[in-house]
Chains A and B, each alone.
Chain A
Amino acid sequence: MTNISNSLRFLRIVILILGTVIMIAQLWYWLFPDTFYYIGLPNTAIEEHGGIASLSSTEWWGSFILTFLPNSAILYALYYLYRLTTFLSAGQWFEEVCEQCCSHISKSLFVYVVLNITHATLLVVLLTMDNPPGKREFAIGFGGDDLMALVLALFALTIAHMVRLARQQRDELNEII
């Protein structure tokens, strides 16, 4: 039991670090793009259109919001993962709150996949909107990150279903003397 508590505590620390890194990376890239190149990969769509420095104010805010949307879905999933570890620490393995947390994680990962695909498309549309006719672009793609998030979402959905079945069985067993 102590090992489980320690693992959950470690997982909570990892979640907090991940959440902080996601937020810092997002802000760092948009506020200090010159130094960001040393720690992370820049957004390819923005780089192909001249980088952050060449963006107008509207494009800057539009692109910032568009790139933040998938990250916000990941942060939402991490928040519920953190809550899940809190409930698990309290021994509420098969309670309804755990099922709801898994369900929220699953939904937010599905939303992440959709936002990750659409944000890239909208970003290209936004960056080439002012181009003359014939030079405007539209691109849509499905990457490895999206596939991985989709698999994780299905995992979370399955776990939510398992928790619900386990709770039903436990409740039924509690009525047998």
Chain B
Amino acid sequence: MPIVVKLDVVLADRKVKSKDLAAHVGITEANLSLLKSGKVRGVRFETIAAICEYLQCQPGDILSYQKDS
């Protein structure tokens, strides 16, 4: 999958706990963990917006594209 989720890096930079982010976004910690590991088929715009709002960042900060080698 060429899309890389960098949410764990942003969470560490902001010193935010996954539990707090999950509560703010309205998803379970289990789903947030799946999202962090990139093991999901897709992410809703609504979810990205809530994450960006809480972490004060842009979608590009948590998602990036890396071409498959």
Contact = CB atoms under 8 A, between A and B. Distances in A.
Interface residues of A, number: 4
Interface in B8-62: 27, 31-32, 34-35, 40-44, 47
B44 to A, nearest CB: 6
A175 B30 CA distance: 12
Nearest to B39: A175
A176 interface: yes
A172 interface: yes
A173 to B, nearest CB: 9
Contacts of A177: 27, 31-32, 34-35, 40, 42-44, 47
Contacts, number: 19
A176 B42 CA distance: 4
Residue among A172, A175, A176, A177 with most chain B CB within 10 A:
A177
Residue among B27, B35, B41 with most chain A CB within 10 A:
B41
A177 B27 CA distance: 8
B63 to A, nearest CB: 13
Contacts of B31: 177
Contacts of B47: 177
Given A177-B32, A177-B44, 13 more contacts: A172-B41, A175-B40, A175-B41, A175-B42, A176-B40, A176-B41, A176-B44, A177-B27, A177-B31, A177-B40, A177-B42, A177-B43, A177-B47
Interface of B: 27, 31-32, 34-35, 40-44, 47
Sort A-B residue pairs by CB-CB distance and give the 6 closest, nearest first.
Answer: A175-B41, A176-B42, A177-B31, A177-B40, A177-B35, A177-B43
Interface of A: 172, 175-177
19 contacts: A172-B41, A175-B40, A175-B41, A175-B42, A176-B40, A176-B41, A176-B42, A176-B43, A176-B44, A177-B27, A177-B31, A177-B32, A177-B34, A177-B35, A177-B40, A177-B42, A177-B43, A177-B44, A177-B47
